Amino acid sequence: MSWQAKVVNRLLRKFVKQRHQRLGVSHDRVLASRQRGAWCARWIIKPLRGTRIEAVESGPVRGEWVRAPAARENRIIYFVHGGAFLIGRPATYRYLVSRLSAEAEACVFSVDYRLAPEHPFPAALNDVCDGWRWLKRRLPRGGRIALAGDSAGGGLALSLLLDLKQRDCRLPVAFAAMSPWVDLTLSGTSVSENLERDSYLAGELLPKVVDLYLQGADPSSLRASPLFGDLAGLPSMAIHASDTEVLRDDSLRLAQRARDQGVDVSLKLWPELPHGFQLFARLVPEGRAALSELGAFLKRHWRDEPPDADAGRNPNTDTRNGCERGNSGTPPGSV
């Protein structure tokens, strides 16, 4: 572990984890956390120099394009950010996303979805599905899309994959997952085993986070906990997580279940790093190394995949498999 990671671990434990343990989780605390997150974004999460940022607001779809100087227009990454379904915006992830854009030489669309508790489940997933349809309709001829997400965004991305599979839609070329939260039943043993070792997440507060997000919905449903879905036929996955985080077992079990069902999976556990350490990649060299590896993983799969035959079609006339149409009122389970 680098000295920078040691310092970040100490700072997170003292000023984030211990504060959350003392104050707990509530609607008011969530709003305060959002304000602090916006402040931090101005100082430590600025994008790489030369990155182009373009805001998007198109009907129900919000987000932003992030393009590194070397990004190729026919390589697209659909990125779903984390934040426990309660906090976070694309701006908070600009450094992470801009570095992923540079490493993969791809344009990234970072979707902005509605947050709980004001917008409980399944609002976030519906927004992610809307963003996918919007992106597919604007895919340049010969272009292909890869999928990436961290923490709660990794869970939403996996739920999107399962919905696409159920609808017999063409899937992304690959999926890069960073500490994905894919089990809202909190049944992984690391939730209790790593309570003290995790320098960032206060694991004892996760049940309250789940309550604020689901607000009575079943945490074992496949749209809430995609870990338990049928993973056969999903694209290749690269999963990166920390061995000391409380959500470690979500990554371990996702990798094992996917392998057992025939999916090509690579899993890497980084030692003694905070949950979602890629978010701190400006400060932590391990975060930059992880993003470099994930970018290389995505580039390999773009080279191996043929261009999308549907790219460039008119979305008003192409209704193949029902995958190209939809709106914000799409019912749960539909893409």
| Helix, strand, coil share of the chain (percent; to 5) | 45, 15, 40
Q: How far apart are CA 88 and CA 91, in angstroms?
A: 8
Tokens 């006339």: give the residue: 317
**Residue 142, C-beta contacts closer than 8 angstroms, at least 6 positions apart:** 74, 307, 308, 311
242 is known as an active-site residue:
no
- Count CA atoms within 13 Å of residue 151 on its CB side: 20
* Token couple for 79: 């990125």
Q: Which of 275, 286, 301, 324 is catalytic?
A: 275
Between the alpha carbon of residue 293 and those of residues 12, 102, 153, 175, 253, the distances in Å are 25, 12, 19, 13, 21
Please answer whether residues 41 and 91 qualify as being in contact, where contact means their C-beta atoms are separated by less than 8 angstroms. yes
What are 26's two structure tokens?
Answer: 């509530």
**Alpha carbon 309 to its chain's center:** 26
**And the tokens for 32?**
């305060």
Catalytic residue among 81, 103, 199, 245: 245
313 — phi, psi (to 5°)?
Answer: -70, 155
Interatomic CA distance for residues 14 and 22, integer angstroms: 11
C-alpha torsion sign, points 171, 175, 181, 183: positive
Cβ–Cβ under 8 Å, residues 61 and 130: yes
Active site residue 151: yes
Rounded to the nearest 10 degrees, how much is the dihedral formed by the CA atoms of 114, 119, 125, 126? -90
Q: Is the dihedral of CA 108, 256, 179, 164 positive or negative?
A: positive
Would you name the residues annotated as active-site residues? 151, 245, 275
